[in-house]
Structure 1
Amino acid sequence: MPKTYKLAILIFVLLFVFGIVSFLVSSLFCYFYDFSNSVQSPSVLHRKRIIGYVSSDEGSEITIKQLEKLTHVIFAFILVHKDGTIKFKYGTKDGFFDMKRKSMELNRGLKVMVSIGGYESSPLFSDVLVKKKKKLIASIALLVKKFDLDGVDIFWNWPSITDQSNYLIFIRELRKKLTNLKDENGRSNEYVISVIAPSSSSHSEYPYKWTEILENVDFINVITFEYFYEANKIGPHSPLYGGSFGNVDDTLKYLICRTRTPNKLNMVVSFNGIYWGNTTLPFDDKGVWIPDDSAQGPYSYGWKQFARMSHGFDQNDFEWNEETRTPYIWKADTQQFLTFENEKSLTEKMNYAVAHNIGGVAMYTIDDDDEENTLLNVVVTNLPSLKKSGGETKYNCTR
């Protein structure tokens, strides 16, 4: 037999054998690899941001199943001190490490961040930015580098009108510092910077240079709850519409019409409810708010507390206020009023986000959800229909 035929036969046999081996290897891989547990990157699943704040409170914990559904996770909070340093609140570092470890296990592009400030240390920001600004920026950069973070959230509630220039300078210098850190670390992507915007019934309460701030941050997390604090009254925790002391629609419309960048704003929804004792029912013919002169509270009530019927509240006993699109529970015998988010009200807000091209949704705090992730699932299920539209504003900003 000619050598050329022998060579051809040899090549054919080798290719046949290699084909059989490749088939067997791929079959074994498919058999042993559990594709059902494979999680696609959140950035692929959702073109819009899905952000979860994680509470630093003792006993709070986020799960892998929750992390799988997020694009960003933010540990709240890292406290600011008078000398410009930032530190974990006592006993909270283990919670951060648990969140970080679980996020690393996913390895799916999830952005891991921390929130600087919070309700406890926000009053210190104003003085620190005047006297210890460079120290604060250096402390933030050191924390980012030490724990290999993807970014930071600045949670200052709320700067006064005299703080606005110092606040803008701080954000600009923080961006510059983190850009330099990116270059030093050989990082391909910029570090993420976000800030919060407060819920407010008065547009004069927004002493921010929003356009300039947006040039230096990736997005703004807009708080859409706790309107009753400013009103000093009893009423809905997060009214989508209605009332005379602010609502979600009014807050987002004002900010988006002012910035024209809905894709850079996130709606922050609360997984906590609020209740009062020794009160009367707020919703009547006169409106949605009543004075809180003799009431007891407000007290926080996490969604997961419904599972153990805390304080006798049953989530299935809720009533619905159509004007504000919010649920509530009124116990006339004990004069208790509870306002909260549930599946129905969150669906209303997600539909609003879709209709108005909001850039994303943040949940505060995700560890207050129940074991079935009831509220998180409402958010995730209703967001895939959000599409990129070049930042088009969906409001009539002429009125």
Structure 2
Amino acid sequence: MSTNQSSSKSVSLLNSSERPSPTRNNGKTKKYILQFLIICVVAAPIAYLLTSLFVSSIETLNNEQNQKRVVGYYTVWEEKKLTMDQLKKLTHIIFMFADVQEDGSVNIHDSHAVKRIWDMKEIISMARKQGMKVMIAVGGHLTSIRFPPTLEDPVKKKNLMESIANLFEEYDIDGIEIFWMWPTEEDKVKHLKLVREVRQQLTSMKESKGKTKDYVLSVITSRYSHFRENIYYNEIMKHVDFVNVLTHDWRFMREYVGPLAPLYGGRKDSIDDAMKYLTCFTKQPSKLNLGIPLFGIFWTNTTFPIDDTKQRLCVPKTGEKIAYEVRWRDRSSNRWKNVQTSWHNISRTPYIWKSDEKMFSSFENERSLKEKVDYARINNIGGVVIYAIDQDEDNKLMSAITSVRLESGDDVNDIKYHCE
């Protein structure tokens, strides 16, 4: 009995005064719910804002990565000034050229050239605010031959690197292009080392100036296999932002007659051949720009070059070994009055053949330009490069180029060619 009593006493029972009040509990619950709702109301806009900023930053990054380039060369030798209508169509503008001097230094020394670059800078300030990059091409048609001896001489090489840095200080540019026409087999390593060392210098300049964005660096190559084969592309791609694939070459045009920049056709070296080779070899179509010339060429004392039955697009130049440039503005001259323009279906290019004068002319028109841009889109090429924007006097050619959508909607390095 005593055991039972002891057990009963060990059971703790709450009396009425010690039991929790339902009313008090409900009050606390409501208080907690109210606090939670207040936190949700206050935090929701902040969470939404942070999420929006995060998504926006990701979209901006993707847009920057996926943005197709429209690069325009601006020459020292033309007279036409830039217009805002032209500039708003570009992502990059490249001034040609800063010449390589005998001592290895590079500069823009000719008074006309200096005026041209300052005329350019006067009008580009608004376009730069919208993100357009300004660059200078170093080298060029006449002084590229000075690259090899400059790189072999330590003093000249020091002059080269210091003067490249001076271009940034003097002209407040965003980048440079190494416009080397064309490295030989013996120059392959020199070319690679130059690109690598220039990138290292640009990185040091960026850090010393406290800049957040890298300076832009680009190089050129050619659609002609015997010119393009002396570049270490996969190593170069580690250091450059893009490669401009020029689809014309003066040395070729002085020796041969045929379409200036054929999209397809011939036994080799069409634009399609070059872009497929470079894409399949590098696996980086996003770093390639397809070159589009805006000038035309005509040859005299020649035979008709095109023969589809023989897969022939060109013939050796006979008579005077001279190719004459023709501008869009020259269409009003007597030579071009009342002439019929023909279209070559295989190369996708227009031409003029005057049999009585034995004159053949190759050029671009709105149709061929649109097809080249569409080709770049279909094959997910990173952009186009226009040679040159100041050769388009009435802005019709640039308008044709930019009227075609470049964005493909694909991932930046999706490969559209059937690579072997």
TM-score after normalising by structure 2: 0.79
Give how far 1:65 is off: 1.0
Equivalent of 2:189, from 147, 165, 170?
A: 165
Partner of 2:350: 327
Of residues 212, 224, 246, the one that matches 1:223 is: 246
Determine if contact 1:74/1:113 at 8 Å carries over to the other structure.
yes
Listed as ranges, the gaps of 5+ residues in structure 2 are 1-62
- Contact 2:183/2:230 (8 A) holds in 1: yes
State how far apart, in whole Å, the 2-side matches of 1:129 and 1:112 are: 26
Number of aligned positions between the proteins: 351
SS at match of 2:313: coil
2:151 alignment counterpart: 129
- Aligned partner letter, 1:277: T
User: How many Å separate the matches in 1 of 2:198 and 2:407?
Assistant: 34
Is residue 375 from structure 1 mapped to residue 400 from structure 2 by the alignment? no
**Cα shift at 1:186:** 1.8
- Taking the TM superposition and a 5 Å limit, the aligned residue runs for 1:191-202 are 191-202=215-226
Structure 1, unmatched stretches of 5+, are 1-42
What displacement does 1:356 show? 0.6
Q: Which residue of 2 aligns with 1:298?
A: 323
Match of 1:48 in 2: 68
User: Contact between 1:194 and 1:219, CA under 8 Å: does it hold in 2?
Assistant: yes
Matched AA of 1:299: Y
Instruction: Evaluate the alpha carbon distance shift between residue 142 and residue 228 of structure 1 in structure 2; reply closer, same or farther with a 3 A threshold.
Output: closer
Is 1:209 equivalent to 2:232 in the alignment? Answer: yes
Q: Counterpart amino acid of 2:274?
A: T
Q: Deviations over 1:154-197 (max 9, x none)?
A: 11010011111111111111111111111122211110000001
Distance in 1 of aligned mates of 2:382 and 2:334: 37
| Segment of structure 1 superposing worse, 69-78 or 286-295 | 286-295
1:73 corresponds to 2:98: no
Secondary structure of 1:120 counterpart: coil
Flag the 1:281–1:305 CA change in 2: closer, same or farther, 3 A. Answer: same
Of 150-159 and 230-239, deviating more is 230-239
Contact 1:225/1:237 (8 A) holds in 2: yes
Q: Which amino acid aligns with 2:203?
A: T
Q: Is the 8 A contact 2:293 2:386 kept in 1?
A: yes
1: CA distance, partners of 2:345 / 2:109: 41
In structure 1, C-alpha distance between the alignment counterparts of 2:267 and 2:109, rounded to whole Å: 37
Q: Does 1:103 align with 2:124?
A: yes
Shift of 1:383: 2.7
Which sits farther off after the overlay, 98-107 or 249-258?
98-107
Q: Deviations over 1:286-311 (max 9, x none)?
A: 422222122452111122322xx235
Q: Which amino acid aligns with 1:300?
A: E
Question: What is the correspondence of 1:193-342 to structure 2 with a 5 Å cutoff?
Answer: 193-202=217-226, 205-226=228-249, 229=252, 232-284=255-307, 285-286=309-310, 287-295=312-320, 297-306=322-331, 309-310=332-333, 312-314=335-337, 317-342=340-365
Structure 1 365/314 Cα, relative in aligned 2: closer, same or farther at 3 Å? farther
8 Å Cα contact 2:247-2:271 kept in structure 1: yes
Q: Is the 8 A contact 1:228 1:237 kept in 2?
A: no
Q: Secondary structure at the match of 1:92?
A: helix
CA–CA distance in 2 between the matches of 1:205 and 1:363? 19
The alpha-carbon deviation at position 390 of structure 1 amounts to 3.0
1:151 is matched with: 175
Q: Do the aligned partners of 1:280 and 1:335 also contact (CA within 8 Å) in 2?
A: yes
1:56-98 CA distances to partner (integer Å, 9 max, x unpaired)? 1152322111001110011111101121111215121111011
The structure with the largest alpha-carbon Rg is 2
| Greater shift in the superposed pair: 277-286 or 389-398 | 277-286
Q: C-alpha root-mean-square deviation of aligned residues, in Å?
A: 2.0
- TM-score scaled to structure 1, two decimals? 0.83
Mean alpha-carbon deviation: is it higher for 322-331 or for 239-248?
Answer: 239-248
SS of the residue corresponding to residue 141 of structure 2 reads helix
Residue matched to 2:199: 175
1:381 is displaced (CA, Å) by 1.2
Task: Indicate conservation of the 8 Å contact 1:199/1:222, yes or no.
Answer: yes
CA contact under 8 A between 2:351 and 2:362: conserved in structure 1? yes
In structure 2, the residue matched to 1:7 is: none
Q: Percent identical across equivalent pairs?
A: 38
Contact 2:78–2:390 under 8 Å retained in 1:
no
Distance, in Å, in 1 between the alignment partners of 2:250 and 2:276 is 16
Q: Are 2:97 and 2:139, in contact at CA under 8 Å, matched by a contact in 1?
A: yes
Corresponding residue of 1:345: 368
Moved more, 272-281 or 189-198: 272-281
The answer for the alignment partner of 1:140 in structure 2 is 164
Distance in 2 of aligned mates of 1:236 and 1:316: 18
| 1:311–1:140 Cα change, 3 Å | farther
